[in-house]
Amino acid sequence: MRSRFDSIPLAVNDCLVPVETSDARRKKGLRSNFKNRFKEMTHEDKEKVAARFAQMWNEIVSSFREEDLIDNREKELLLVPYVADQGLRVTQWPPFLLASMVPIAVDMAKDSNGKDRDLKKRIENDYYFSCAIKECYASCKNIINDLVHGEQEKRVINTIFTEVEKCIAEDKVITDLNMQSLPDLYNKFVELVEFLKKNDEKDRVAVIKIFQDMLEVVTRDIMEDQLPSILESSHGGSYQRPEGMTAWDNEYQLFQPSGAIKFPLEVSTEAWKEKVNRLELLLTVKESAMDVPSNLEARRRLTFFTNSLFMDMPDAPKVRNTISFSALTPYYNEHVLFSIKDLEEENEDGVSTLFYLQKIYPGRAGRGRTISPFQSQVIKYIMKQPDIYCVWLCIQMNGRTSRKGLRKN
């Protein structure tokens, strides 16, 4: 699924979305050309395809969480933005495909010693690695521009981004910039993202200090050669430094005036929260997400769904043109009502029914570590009502497992 995930949005659009007109025809051919077709599309067309895919994909992921097949952390790693961020102009893939790639890129840049061969090779050969770096840079730039409102501060920030993008265009990021201090800048931005998630007025002073520290790292360490031009830009002309005063002594009051930094945000929209949460995942997830989702049933369903998209199938009709049908799933009649005492009672071998269920359904019984708000309310209610019995409906038919329920005795 991972190897062909960048082909799935277009496959969903071609196979599951009805054509607009009755005489329209799909382009037939090998499904392997989905990847190349998607990359060759314009950004606007990509956004349309991605929006349709996001709606369907996120519904699948949300249903997995409702069925307790995945936990909250896995849900965050699997979701894609419902609405593409117009300011980024990059394709946003699920975080589980991009996990740990930004921290790896930071370490590779730090250890490059001015030689970019290994990093360039990794970017050229790993499509998701390239996407992670582009999205992270674009998101950081977008967030900084949203927060910085002071005119003098904006001039400094714009000059820094102009110099960086000039290095990117000339393919001289590693050779012209000192990457030894990149981890320091990375750590400061992670701190900033944590404050943005809380969005608390009492953290305003700390946020201002982080911006000042990031500016110091950039101007004194990363962009030493470009420092004079940045300082001149911030002062609107030639800057003569007094004898005995360093550049940072004079620049340290940036971001300090009232209104220079827009924090906390008066109205924190869902789109903003989603952007910050996603950036935090890109920056902080350092372990590989190869086992996401960890539940075998969830992996089986996703694999079956994605593989089916690359089969030769007829075009999808519009809903109003489909034939009505009903699906009946038979199941064996058996006792599935257990009290808490029955679940925890051990047999002559010292094995309880609950332990047995945890072993045969490890992906579901271990979800108690992260539960949904609804489940939390149910558990609290059960603890207060001893006459409530927990119903464990495990109807196995064609690999499907129904949801758990509750019933009063």
Token match 């064609």: residue? 398
Average pLDDT (265-270) is 77
CA distance 196 to 382: 37
Q: What is the pLDDT of residues 116-170, one digit of tens each?
A: 777 888 888 888 888 899 999 999 999 999 999 989 899 999 999 998 888 888 8
Using pLDDT thresholds of 50, 70 and 90, give the confidence band for residue 193.
very high
Q: What is the pLDDT of residues 166-184, one digit of tens each?
A: 888 888 888 888 888 899 9
Percentage above 90 pLDDT, the chain: 20
Question: Which value, to the nearest 10 degrees, does the dihedral of the CA atoms of residues 98, 100, 106, 109 take?
Answer: -80
365 versus 394: the higher-pLDDT residue is 365
Q: Is the pLDDT of residue 397 over 70?
A: no
**Mean pLDDT highest for which of 9-13, 193-197, 396-400?**
193-197
Question: Which value, to the nearest 10 degrees, does the dihedral of the CA atoms of residues 43, 47, 53, 58 take?
Answer: 130
Q: What is the pLDDT of residues 94-121, one digit of tens each?
A: 999 998 899 999 998 888 887 777 788 8
All residues at 6 or more sequence positions from 11 whose CB lies less than 8 Å from its CB, including other chains: 31, 34, 309, 310
pTM for this model (two decimals): 0.71
**CA-wise closest residue to 282 among 167, 186, 198, 173:** 186
